């Protein structure tokens, strides 16, 4: 249910956020998307400089908002979007470090599932181990959009890690040996929040550096050059909006 007053982290008012939100980690990447891809843009949030914008893409209403770094940060923002602002779909668009020999810098990865070393799921008091997964309908839309644009994607298991600078120097080898494609820091919390809320989530990643080959993009390139990933995510968002209109939702 939408609220009339802002949360402590989001100044948006009722109706100010679209049903589908693209969520990069970097708020400046959110601004880049709004500036370069959306029209009729309004800024709905500047609290803590976590910028959020709503506009139209191919005539469809889309929002984009930063989610910050790490699972606690995206956990707060995505929870509020799902539970307080009536958002149905969140598409994380971020960067990742490559593990697999089958991925290289600038490749796009669709996070089908998100393994994690985080204790985020402990709050649900489940009698076992849950596997955080993407919504398959969003996965299908993303793969179809990428193929239509002739953009190759890799699909599979990713790692959402709580540690960027890890004291365990054997951990990467262990995850790589299990076929994990790459590492990032947010998707597992997003997928768990979506499951708990009965909503949908997807994580699209661009490989910004490879932990085994040493290839890497600069911070400026990470902020401004992930155009293929952005366009796939926007196509998914526009497709959701169009599908909802056809179904009378």
Q: What is the pLDDT of residues 181-220, one digit of tens each?
A: 999 999 999 999 999 999 999 999 999 999 999 999 987 7
Q: What is the CATH number of the domain that holds 76?
A: 3.40.50.1580
Supply the pLDDT for residue 249. 44
Three-state SS sequence of the chain: CCCCCCECCECCCCCCCCCEEEECCCHHHHHHHHHHHCEEEEEEECHHHCCEEEEEECCEEEEEECCCCCHHHHHHHHHHHHHHCCCCEEEEEEEEEECCCCCCCCCEEEEEEEEECCCHHHHHCCCCCCCCECCHHHHHHHHHHHHHCCCCEEEEEEEECCCCCCCCCCHHHHHHHCCCCEEECCHHHHHHHHHHHCCEEEEEEEEEEECCCCCECCHHHHHHCCHHHHHHHHHHHHHHHHHHHHHCC
- Is residue 1 situated within a structural domain? no
- Is residue 38 situated within a structural domain? yes
Q: What is the pLDDT of residues 19-53, one digit of tens each?
A: 999 999 999 999 999 999 999 999 999 999 999 99
- Is residue 8 situated within a structural domain? no
Query: Which phi and psi angles does 54 have, rounded to 5°?
Result: -125, 135
- Is residue 193 situated within a structural domain? yes
- Is residue 6 situated within a structural domain? no
- Is residue 143 situated within a structural domain? yes
244 is catalytic: no
Supply the pLDDT for residue 222. 72
- Is residue 4 situated within a structural domain? no
The total number of structural domains in the chain stands at 1
- Residue 5 pLDDT greater than 70, yes or no: no
Look up residue 140 and give its two tokens.
């299908």
Q: pTM here?
A: 0.94
User: Residue 114 belongs to what domain range?
Assistant: 20-247
Instruction: Please tell me which residue in 168, 209, 228, 244 is annotated as part of the active site.
Output: 209
- Is residue 14 situated within a structural domain? no
Q: What angle do CA 56, 96, 106 make, to 5 degrees?
A: 75
Supply the pLDDT for residue 224. 63
């Amino acid at each position: 249910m939408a609220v009339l007053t802002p949360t402590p982290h989001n100044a948006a008012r009722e109706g100010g956020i679209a049903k589908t939100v693209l969520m990069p980690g970097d708020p400046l990447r959110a601004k880049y998307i709004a500036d370069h891809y959306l029209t009729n843009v309004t800024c709905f949030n500047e609290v803590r400089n976590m910028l959020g914008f709503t506009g139209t893409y191919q005539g469809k209403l889309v929002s984009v908002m930063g989610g910050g770094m790490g699972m606690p940060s995206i956990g707060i923002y995505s929870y509020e979007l799902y539970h307080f602002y009536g958002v149905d779909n969140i598409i994380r668009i971020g960067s990742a470090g490559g593990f697999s020999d089958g991925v290289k810098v600038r490749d796009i990865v669709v996070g089908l599932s998100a393994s994690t070393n985080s204790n985020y799921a402990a709050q649900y008091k489940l009698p076992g181990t849950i596997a955080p997964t993407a919504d398959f309908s969003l996965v299908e839309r993303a793969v179809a959009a990428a193929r239509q644009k002739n953009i190759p994607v890799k699909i599979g298991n990713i790692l959402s890690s709580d540690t960027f600078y890890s004291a365990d120097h054997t951990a990467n080898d262990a995850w790589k040996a299990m076929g994990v494609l790459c590492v990032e820091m947010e998707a597992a919390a997003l997928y768990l929040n979506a499951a708990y809320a009965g909503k949908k989530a997807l994580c699209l990643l661009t490989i910004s550096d490879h932990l085994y080959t040493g290839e890497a993009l600069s911070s400026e390139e990470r902020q401004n050059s992930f155009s293929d990933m952005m366009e796939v995510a926007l196509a998914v968002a526009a497709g959701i909006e169009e599908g909802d209109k056809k179904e009378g939702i």
